Amino acid sequence: MGIILSMCICVGSVFMANQVTAAPEHGRNGEYRLSAGIKRKEQVAGGVAAGRRITFSEKVMYLTFDDGPSGEVTENILDILKARKIRATFFVIGEYVRRYPETARRIVDEGHSIGIHCDNHDYKMLYESVDSYLADFMRAYETVYSVTGVKARLFRFPGGSVNAYNGKVCRGIIEEMERRGFVYFDWNASVEDAVPGAQPAQFVENAVSTASGRKRVVLLAHDRTVGTAQCLEELLNAFADYRMERITSETKPVQFVRP
């Protein structure tokens, strides 16, 4: 487990001493990585001795987008993320990667993580059996590889790892996917932009209320929903005290409790 500090240099020694629980991530401007073996008190003492103020960025959010790429909505989201120098994670659908290959490549080229969602977003077909899930997954996997060159390791189950359609097969699917080295992420907060009757005016509030102030948030959103792109700036502003990170294969997963 890595520890990332954001640091600013100034006179004085005000600091927060909360434990940082972020998973290892790539350093960004203003951040640096310290070995987990170094005690936090020693880090703080070192900063004080050097006349530096150390502020711990203890909150981290992993922005995740499912069901894309979708052409214009995904492009709009990428524009905003680029302008704000934020990296996110896109769990894509193979069918749409074939339809919007340039957008899929842009996701990768601009430093975001790409993971697999499915090839055909049909719950009944997907979760009919372990084999039907795997066949669909591999179609999407091969598409992402051929279009972007990425051998995806991350994935997200349509409907989440535990849902109304996969009760009999989810355990078998998870075991086989993990045996093959894939890592899945569920979520612990949601914009609620893909539910029946989704109200764009409520998206930011939905995200804030479901995140519940957690220090580590995996936020579910969809880059097929026009309102999601439209509210993204406001959404990011609402979580200004969070470091925004992309998920990598080293990120500690957020997963629903298995049955």
Smallest gap from Cβ 140 to Zn ion, in A, equals: 12
- The verdict on 158 binding Zn ion (CB under 5 A) reads yes
Instruction: Please count the residues of this chain forming the interface with Zn ion, following the rule CB under 5 A.
Output: 3
- C-beta of 31 vs 95, nearer to Zn ion: 95
- Over the window 33 to 62, marking each residue x when it contacts Zn ion by CB under 5 A and - when it does not, the resulting string is ------------------------------
Which phi-psi region, left, alpha or beta, contains residue 12 (left: φ > 0; alpha: ψ -120 to 50)?
left
Give the shortest CB-67-to-Zn ion separation in angstroms.
4
Which residue, 25 or 66, has its beta carbon nearer to Zn ion? 66
Identity of the residue, 67 or 136, whose beta carbon is nearer to Zn ion in the bound complex:
67
Query: Cβ 145 to Zn ion, closest distance in Å?
Result: 20
Our finding on whether 192 is near Zn ion (CB under 5 A) is no
Q: Does the protein bind Zn ion through residue 66 (CB under 5 A)? A: yes
| Residue nearer to Zn ion on the CB measure, 23 or 198 | 198
| Nearer to Zn ion among residue 66 and residue 245 (C-beta) | 66
Positions that interact with Zn ion (CB under 5 A): 66-67, 158
